Amino acid sequence: MMVLSATTTSVRRTSPRAAVLRAEARLFRREPGNLFWVMGFPPLLLVILGSIPSFRKADPGLGGLRLIDLYVPILVLVALIVTGLQTMPPVITGYRERGILRRMSATPVRPAALLTAQMALNGAAAVLSALVCIAIGRLAFDVPLPRQAFGYALALLLMAAAALALGALVSALAPTAKIATAIGTAVFFPSVFLAGLWLPVQSMPNVLHHIAVLTPFGAAARALDQASAGEWPAWSHLGVLAAWTVVLSAAATRWFRWE
Amino acid sequence: MTTAMSATARGAVVEVSNLRKSYGGRTVVDDVSFTVDEGEIFGILGPNGAGKTTTVECVEGLRVPDAGRVRVAGLDPIADHAAVTKVLGAQLQESELQAKLTVREALELYAALYPNPADWGPLAERLGLVSQLNARFGVLSGGQKQRLFIALALIGNPRVVVLDELTTGLDPRARRDTWEVVEDVRARGVTVLLVTHFMEEAQRLCDRIAVIDNGRITALDTPRGLISRTAGSTLISFTPSAPLDDEELAALPALASVEHKDGRITLSGSDETVTAVLSLLARQRITAHQLRVTDATLDDAFLNLTGATR
């Protein structure tokens, strides 16, 4: 026990935040379940839907578009929502529940570094999964790339921010990781419904459509559709997304407890 | 235990004065004051819920005191939190690490959080963690987890470490190994603030002990001092060959109590009582079968000190 080692460990100085991010990235890769839901599930669902022949037939009722054309942006949204609501909240809540945030409070680094690392990783994985969906749509099903690329990217990033803020709020409100999973799942289904997973937003009945576009999911769905068609997304949709992000982030910050 | 006196000559590393903390109207820490000197192992001993953890959490800067003053190396743990974390390492009660983080990764990560970290290789070796470096936190035994937490508490090269209920839940063997580690930590010049509810642990490790009960310090002394201030710190028991007169027993000097059980007599008192009882037996030509003289333990002292306030 008292023996001092002659060997010295080479200490490469990494910045504290980079070290936290690196450790969290390793841990992120060690959760096969989470990796599947974020990276595997949305592209897989797209492939399944695209394999249904009727999804690949042009529909005059949709202005000559095929259902698969509508579903690429919907699965882009599903990738963002699944990450924000299903993957991230139990991790963050678990970190609080098991005293991991507290342990970090006793070091020179604030435990907020763990939260920002988690948001950065989940955000990056969600956006990557969204890009995979777009690529599969283009390569496998001839879905044209968004014609208004910048508007599309803006709407996608705003929706990613809104989904992470919503996930952060779930983490803030749930006392345990199990409850975070339960709340996340309960919110997940209405969210993907409003994003148009069962019925694309533009095909929704009038009243439902009006309600949907006031939520971040419906607004994002319409914004992505518009950008796909080559228009600049309506400012009202982008505004709804930005407003939700601000409100959800503020609520998450207000109610988040470190222990 | 041997350096109890020499430690006091050096300066105080931790100063707590008139600390007060309550949760929802319930006072948990009530006017607690103590100082921990450089190089000592200072124990905070008390029953569960006595306010031990809250006290050290105020020292660690994890809780804001309602009143009173706390200084660690002259710094305020709340106002100068970042500076305090660089001189104070902590092992927290009931905190974990990410289950899938390996021991090596945990050491590397925590080393990167400090400006002048210790070399984690030798540290892992000292704490017997070398064969577990690639094991994930989730599969470690209780003793291995605690040794890793000690390593993480030391990795920033602190002047003080706070160890909170370090050996709770460990088997006796792992507990003894952990005690050796704590002695080794102190031998390397790190001051230790140890929170425990195990008498044996406090008696074995601590230079000085603050006994806390119901949020207040009821005694602060060396383990030996705590024991000796207990009435009846020496126990004498024997089975007399002939009955002894109760009145003569009661007249023994420094006697604290007399107990008869199945023909066996147990007296508590001091060394003086031992001498007197031996001469009494000799005078009356009574043989004392199975004569035992034992020192009271910290256990007895503790019951004495905390029982009084109940």
Q: Which residue in A has a C-alpha nearest to residue B60's C-alpha?
A: A106
| pLDDT of res. A259 | 81
In this model, does residue B230 exceed pLDDT 80?
A: no
Which of B53, B86, B110 has the highest number of chain A CBs within 10 A, making it the mutation to test binding with A? B110
Contacts of B109 in chain A (CB under 8 A): 19-20, 23
Q: What phi, psi does A238 have (nearest 5°)?
A: -65, -35
Residue B142 and residue B258 in one domain: no
Rounded-to-integer distance, Cα B124 and Cα B23, Å? 39
B228, part of any domain: no
CA B45 – CA B304 distance, rounded (Å)? 13
HSE (side-chain half, CA atoms, 13 Å) at A204:
21
List the one residue out of A156, A145, A126, A166 whose CA is nearest residue A220. Answer: A156
Radius of gyration in angstroms for the set of CA atoms belonging to chain A, rounded to a whole number: 21
B111 contacts A99? CB cut-off 8 A: no
Task: Tell me which residue of A65, A68, A120, A67 sits closest to A92, measured CA to CA.
Answer: A120
CA B271 vs CA A13, B174, B252, B289: distances in Å = 61, 36, 11, 19
* pLDDT of B5 higher than 50: no
Question: Total domain count for chain B?
Answer: 2
Q: Percentage of residues in chain A with pLDDT exceeding 70?
A: 95
Q: How confident is the model at residue B193 (pLDDT cuts 50, 70, 90)?
A: very high
Let me know how long chain A is.
Answer: 259
User: Who wins on pLDDT, B199 or A127?
Assistant: A127
Domain co-membership, B218 together with B257:
no
Q: What's the confidence (pLDDT) of residue B200?
A: 86
- The confidence score (pLDDT) of residue A191 equals 95
Question: Where are chain A's structural domains?
Answer: 17-255
- Nearest neighbour of B95 by CB, restricted to A5, A13, A102: A102
pLDDT greater than 70 at residue B293 = yes
User: Which residues in chain A are contacts of B62 at CB distance < 8 A?
Assistant: 102, 105-106
- Whether residue B85 and residue A107 make contact (CB cut-off 8 A), yes or no, is yes
Give domain status of residue B192, yes or no. yes
pLDDT > 90: what percent of chain B?
A: 62
Q: For position B248, what pLDDT does the model report?
A: 86
pLDDT over 50 (residue B149): yes
Question: Roughly how many angstroms between the first and final C-alpha of chain A, as a whole number?
Answer: 35
Helices (H), B127-270: 142-154, 172-187, 199-205, 223-228, 246-250
Of the three residues B193, B223, B253, the one that is the final residue of a domain is B223
Q: What is the pLDDT of residue B307?
A: 60
Considering chain A, what is the average pLDDT of its residues? 92
Q: What is the mean pLDDT of residues B169-195?
A: 90
d(CA B60, CA B233): 36
> Are A99 and B95 inside 8 Å of each other by CB?
yes
Other residues' Cβ atoms within 10 Å of the Cβ of residue B69 = 12
**In sequence order, what are the beta bridge partners of B192?**
B41, B161
Q: Look at residues B223, B257, B287 and tell me which one is the last residue of a structural domain.
A: B223
Residue B239 and residue B190 share a domain: no
Which chain A positions have a beta carbon within 8 Å of B127's beta carbon? 1
**Does the structure show a pLDDT above 50 at A3?**
no
Chain A residues lying within 8 Å of B112, measured CB to CB:
13-16, 18-19
- pLDDT confidence band for B197 (50 / 70 / 90): confident
Read off the CATH number of the domain in which B279 is found.
Answer: 3.30.70
End-to-end Cα spacing for chain B: 30
- A103-130 pLDDT per residue, tens: 999 999 999 999 999 999 999 999 999 9
Bigger pLDDT: B247 vs A221:
A221
Lowest mean pLDDT segment, chosen from A129-133, A213-217, B231-235, B303-307 = B303-307
**A185 in Cβ contact with A86 (< 8 Å):** yes
Average pLDDT over every residue of A26-42: 95
Do residues B101 and B218 both lie within one domain?
yes
B298 assigned to some structural domain: yes
Statement to judge: residues B137 and B260 lie in one domain: no
The pLDDT assigned to B228 comes to 77
- Supply the pLDDT for residue B245: 83
> Within a domain: residue B137?
yes
Residues B219 and B292 in one domain: no
A138-163 mean pLDDT: 96
pLDDT score for B1: 42
Q: Given a cut of 70, is residue B210 above it in pLDDT?
A: yes
> How does residue B3 score in pLDDT terms, banded at 50, 70 and 90?
very low
- List Cα–Cα distances, B100 to A120, B105, B267, in angstroms: 19, 10, 57
The pLDDT tens digits of the residues spanning B54-78 come to 999 999 999 999 999 999 999 999 9
> Comparing C-alpha atoms, which of A80, A87, A90, A88 is closest to residue A192?
A80
As a whole number, mean pLDDT of residues A193-203 equals 91
pLDDT at B308 (0 to 100): 46
Closest chain A residue to the Cα of B119, Cα to Cα: A9
**Chain segment A90-103, per-residue pLDDT in tens:** 999 999 999 999 99
Instruction: Summarize the confidence of residues B137-161 as an average pLDDT.
Output: 94
The reply to whether residue A108 touches residue B115, judged by beta carbons under 8 angstroms, is yes
Domain membership flag for residue B168: yes
Disruptive mutation site among A10, A11, A92 for chain B (greatest number of B CBs within 10 Å) = A11
CATH number at residue B151: 3.40.50.300
Confidence of residue B231 (pLDDT cuts 50, 70, 90): low
Query: Which residues on A lie below 8 Å from B180 (Cβ)?
Result: 1
Pick the residue from chain B with its C-alpha nearest to A1.
B126
Query: Residue A5: its pLDDT value, please?
Result: 41
**Which of B166, B196, B223 finishes a domain?**
B223
Taking CB atoms and an 8 Å cutoff, what residues of chain A touch B121? 5, 7-9
Q: Which residue of A has its CA nearest to B80?
A: A108
Taking 80 as the threshold, does the pLDDT of residue B304 lie above it? no
The answer to whether residue B175 is domain-embedded is yes
Kindly report the nearest CA distance between residue A62 and chain B, in angstroms.
Answer: 48
User: Mean pLDDT, to the nearest integer, of B2-25?
Assistant: 75
B140 falls within a domain = yes
Q: Are residues B154 and B182 in the same domain?
A: yes
Mean of pLDDT values over A222-230? 95
* Nearest-angstrom CA–CA distance, A71 and A137: 9
Q: Do both B88 and B146 map to the same domain? A: yes
- List the domain range (segments joined by +) for residue B302: 234-307
Same domain for B74 and B210? yes
Give the separation between CA A85 and CA B40, rounded to whole angstroms: 50
Number of cross-chain residue pairs from A and B with Cβ atoms under 8 Å apart: 96
Interface confidence (ipTM) of the complex: 0.86
Task: Answer yes or no: is pLDDT of A173 > 60.
Answer: yes
**Domain assignment present for B229:** no
Cβ–Cβ of B105/A26 closer than 8 Å?
yes
Contact list in B for residue A26 (CB cut-off 8 A) is 101, 105
Question: Do residues B22 and B118 share a domain?
Answer: yes
Average pLDDT, chain B: 89
pLDDT of residue B225: 86
User: Residue A8's pLDDT is what?
Assistant: 44
Residue A255's pLDDT is what?
Answer: 94
Q: Could you tell me if A155 and A225 are in contact, meaning their C-beta atoms sit under 8 angstroms apart? A: no
Q: Which residue of A has its CA nearest to B128?
A: A1
Candidates B95, B163, B182, partner chain A, best to mutate (most A CBs within 10 A)? B95
- Of the candidates A7, A26, A106, the beta carbon closest to that of B62 is on A106
